[in-house]
Chains A and B, each alone.
Chain A
């Protein structure tokens, strides 16, 4: 944590000066200056999701903002209290739906931590492959949409083809694309198929070229830099106090990444460098995410090399009480039938205890706080949703900036309505 001591330049300084210049000096004794209330959202094309912000505007400058959330609240925490553990995975799909595998596996790992399961290396590496693919998809959506919001549509079209390719890989692995419900408690339902591996290899071969092109379009693009530098910045201390995590925190210069701070799933076997920014503005967030895409690609490459010499038949842990046996065994083997019955009917013994497990999600620390009373479903399950926590900093970030900057800031924070509202 070297970067904690870095002193940060004030990101909004430039902006403030500009807006002060543009203030109209009204004549003495004239009408007083008035502000306008503007309702942005909840269904506005520029907000990318159901977000409502009631803005107080002075001309085109934002004086104050009041965000309202909860439009797609589905009470997942309550629903989870009636569901058996293996049926909670589909709920996690719908949190950050841009990177569902990360959520699914975060939940699986929480239960595995509770029951004290030890996983084979193959499972951990396959999980890393799926999670890093999901992270790439998540970052691609976010970064290309920053481009769209600043008026550059081309990059969005370029990279979305590869987001589609990632979804094809998921489809090959688990059958679904967006809300994946990938894997099970204890591992995967099957090993990745030959076709899935071939698709991953294709992706690794083709994607870097496109990513380079994407970066060439934006990174040193004068218009893009003017639109994003010094916009929506937050200082490191404020970001920490607001509970920022993920790329948004790293853009302020703090190298806090769950993958290295609290390693899980054998991340310690890999070489990882954490990209950090310095000013925490939109441009830094963009660059940090781009760099993380390269890191994720390197992870997938390393994991693909590592699984070459692992036994492909061990794709799940030996957890008969939790891992649903294959259907053909259920019909032919007594033991498998018994375990199948026990799992489905909720007769397995689950340890009593409370456990917190967090994973590095697409937009920050996704935590699961699970309290088990030994029953069939959790006594209480709380999701620490990263963007729910850092969205509350939004009014502070956009105060004093232009309306169009507020839109870019919102997309650069990678806010996902499904995750905020849970």
Chain B
């Protein structure tokens, strides 16, 4: 099994839903339409010729300039038998960040999704216990979003123009 065969199987099965295939540093990366993520995960999990039964990692990324698709949820799946990893991305709108939960397929996803919710505010629809995991419950903002800079933004004694982001 190679990246190519997985890609072909996905395109044959889902057609337009899976897009933007690329291979950064050898790991196949693709995008899935937001409301189809569970179907694709299920297919990758259950199809005997694919067998991506191991969810390595799940996290979210915030792209504030990507209007309408600000939040990305990244799934890193692995076929343990073949040692092949693939990366699946789902983009969602920050004003309505609804993504179906993967907890019904992977128990791993439970806390990882809670973490993504805690840091980025991705609302995982159907999650059994979607509460904050690291921060306190009373917090009303999502810390890892890009609008929250680490340093005090009102600070005037330092010129950031040349050094630093």
List chain A positions with a Cβ less than 8 A from chain B. Answer: 1, 4, 69-70, 73, 75, 77-79, 81-82, 113-114, 238, 240-243, 254, 256, 261-262, 345-346, 353-356, 358, 365, 367, 369, 371, 375-377, 379-380, 382, 384, 388-389, 391-393, 421-422
Contact = CB atoms under 8 A, between A and B. Distances in A.
A369 B58 CA distance: 10
Interface of B: 24-25, 27, 29, 53-57, 59, 61-62, 74, 76, 80-81, 83, 85, 87, 106-108, 110-112, 115, 119, 132-135, 143-144, 148, 150-151, 163-165
A67 B134 CA distance: 12
A367 B24 contact: no
A245 B57 CA distance: 12
Nearest to B132: A70
Contacts, number: 103
Main secondary structure of the interface of A (DSSP, over half): mixed
27 contacts: A1-B81, A4-B81, A73-B134, A73-B135, A75-B134, A75-B144, A78-B150, A82-B151, A240-B54, A261-B80, A262-B83, A345-B163, A346-B163, A353-B25, A355-B24, A356-B25, A356-B27, A356-B57, A356-B76, A365-B56, A369-B74, A371-B61, A376-B164, A382-B59, A392-B110, A421-B134, A422-B134
B1 to A, nearest CB: 13
Contacts of B132: 70
A181 B1 CA distance: 39
Contact of A69 (B53, B55, B133): B133
A66 to B, nearest CB: 9
A285 B25 CA distance: 34
Closest CB pairs A-B (n = 9): A243-B108, A70-B134, A73-B134, A382-B59, A384-B57, A261-B83, A392-B111, A82-B150, A242-B107
B158 to A, nearest CB: 13
Contact of B54 (A243, A367, A379): A243
Given A256-B80, A392-B107, A392-B108, 12 more contacts: A1-B81, A77-B119, A78-B150, A81-B150, A242-B108, A243-B56, A243-B106, A353-B24, A365-B56, A380-B61, A384-B56, A421-B134
